[in-house]
Amino acid sequence: MVRPMVTTKHIQPTLVFADEAGNIYDHPDLLMLCRRGHELTLPRPDELMPLPEGSEFFLLPGRGALGFDPESGEVEELDELAVAVFASPAHTLSAFAAYAKRPDAPTLPLFAYGAVGFAEGRFWVCAKKVDQDRRQVFEGIPRERIENGARKLLTDLPGNRLVRHLTGCALTYGCPAAKNLALGRFEAPLPTSRVCNARCVGCISLQPEESGFPSTQNRIAFSPTEKEICEVMLHHQRKEKRPILSFGQGCEGEPLTEAARIGKAVTSFRKAGGRGTVNVNTNASLHAALPGLAEAGVNSIRVTLNSARETPYNIYHRPSGYAFSDVLTSIRTAKGLGLFVSLNLLYFPGLTDCEAEWDALSDLVAETKLDFIQLRNLNLDPELYLGLMKDVDFGPCMGLANFLKRLKKTNPWLGFGYFNPYLDPSQG
Ligand code: SF4
């Protein structure tokens, strides 16, 4: 069914809420509210979009739904529970769900909780599609194709533990990166490191008992050999015309702690005629490792950070044995080596898009001439993050659209997206 084109300027979604059993309802009168940082507000017309396919609904335990009564001009709290959405990949949330947290409310697990409302027969979210790439769209791909691809990998590379690990991830956990490897398309994951020199509050592969919420992925339990890594890389680049091969996955620690092993694997890969973009997703803590990786044949790095300012960075990433200045040195070094440098910016509505953050980020982009910013939603209980940042001054908030517009205006070469781009060698 083709839905009639509805321009968002007419839209005022109503509140969506749920009962304890998880049944979702839209309220007849109360309007949808959303949050940016501590600010409770109606959604801006320019930030509403129809709920993207592949998004998931979350019931928020111990949190009452909040709506706006246009008659009285008051905010109303319902007895029923608040609802949020986890937007599908390639979409960045510009506001998160509005709710009233009750005393017995548990900490929310490691997801991002987008604001959602209902109007014109559909759900609307405060988000922006920041990447047209379809690598994490699996609608229309029968599971059988993934199973066949995994089976073929196991047959082609018997005894390769990395293949056994990744085919398990594809078929058991439904990991999108591992599924793409099984399908022989887009970006192949190359988890390698078991340890990390940071202790990010929202680490998805390792959470201390006392954090109160589980990690969403199991950290890899072995270190693949250079041969195992190189075999997977060569296999993938034979399948995909525009292959991307990425170290630093959600199920591992920090890849730069395995720089020597990665360097040897990439050298063998390139020596064997391996094509494609070889990328390292990293916390950029060990800049001394970069020249060796560049020489081996790595083309790009993606640096994860929640902020371009030292204080909020240290509060969230909790570096151990390195400092924020090392991250900046890594970015400068990588640019000096001719690598393509992306930031994996962990975006939190109402803090990331504030003046103080924008200033620091824009200065970093302008000074280093880094190439690209991937706008990932920070997956953490909003109250927990706001609590961590309570003593940090962020200044006024400008909203995602203005944040991007101003960054682009000030740094015209800068690209934005959600995924690691393929670097076409013919484009120099
Ligand atoms: S850098 Fe990655 S692996 Fe290390 S603590 Fe942070 S999220 Fe976890």
The rounded Å distance from CA 200 to ligand 1 centre is 5
Residue 8's pLDDT is what? Answer: 52
DSSP of 2-59:
PPPP--GGG--PEEEEE-TT--EEEEEEEEE-EEETTEEEPPPGGGEEEPPTT-EEEE
Residue 6's pLDDT is what? Answer: 47
Q: Is the CB of 255 under 6 A from ligand 1?
A: no
Work out the burial of residue 139: count CB atoms within 10 Å of its CB; fewer than 13 is exposed, 13-18 middle, 19 or more buried. exposed
The rounded Å distance from CA 110 to ligand 1 centre is 13
Nearest CA to ligand 1 atom 7: 203
Per-residue pLDDT of the chain (428 residues; tens, 9 = 90+): 344 444 455 789 999 999 999 999 999 999 999 999 999 999 999 999 999 999 999 999 999 999 999 999 999 999 999 999 999 999 999 999 999 999 999 999 999 999 999 999 999 999 999 999 999 999 999 999 999 999 999 999 999 999 999 999 999 989 999 999 999 999 999 999 999 999 999 999 999 988 989 998 989 999 999 999 999 999 999 999 999 999 999 999 999 999 999 999 999 999 999 999 999 999 999 999 999 999 999 999 999 999 999 999 999 999 999 999 999 999 999 999 999 999 999 999 999 999 999 999 999 999 999 999 999 999 999 999 999 999 999 999 999 999 999 999 999 999 999 999 999 988 76
Which domains can be identified in the chain, with CATH numbers? Answer: 14-129 (no CATH), 143-427 (3.20.20.70)
Q: Is the CB of 199 under 6 A from ligand 1?
A: yes
Residue 428's pLDDT is what? Answer: 62
The rounded Å distance from CA 77 to ligand 1 centre is 37
Q: Is the CB of 196 under 6 A from ligand 1?
A: yes
Residues in the chain: 428
Residue 2's pLDDT is what? Answer: 40
Nearest CA to ligand 1 atom 8: 203
Q: Is the CB of 380 under 6 A from ligand 1?
A: no
From the CA of 248, give the closest atom in ligand 1: 2
Q: Which residues contact 334 (CB under 8 A, 6 or more apart)?
A: 284, 290, 294, 301, 341
Residue 426's pLDDT is what? Answer: 83
Residue written as tokens 């940090």?
Answer: 392
Q: Is the CB of 354 under 6 A from ligand 1?
A: no
From the CA of 253, give the closest atom in ligand 1: 3
Cα(112)–Cα(43) distance, integer angstroms: 17
The rounded Å distance from CA 251 to ligand 1 centre is 9
Q: Is the CB of 327 under 6 A from ligand 1?
A: no
Amino acid, res. 144: E
Residue written as tokens 């940042």?
Answer: 389
Nearest CA to ligand 1 atom 3: 253
Cα(372)–Cα(202) distance, integer angstroms: 23
The rounded Å distance from CA 31 to ligand 1 centre is 39
Residue 336's pLDDT is what? Answer: 98
Distances (CA, A) of 28 to 22, 66, 227, 359: 19, 14, 61, 42
The rounded Å distance from CA 368 to ligand 1 centre is 24
Structural contact between residues 314 and 324, judged by C-beta atoms closer than 8 angstroms: yes
Q: Is the CB of 194 under 6 A from ligand 1?
A: no
Q: Is the CB of 203 under 6 A from ligand 1?
A: yes
Residue 1's pLDDT is what? Answer: 39
The rounded Å distance from CA 59 to ligand 1 centre is 27
From the CA of 197, give the closest atom in ligand 1: 4
The rounded Å distance from CA 60 to ligand 1 centre is 26
Q: Which residues contact 29 (CB under 8 A, 6 or more apart)?
A: 14, 69, 70, 71
DSSP state of 353: T
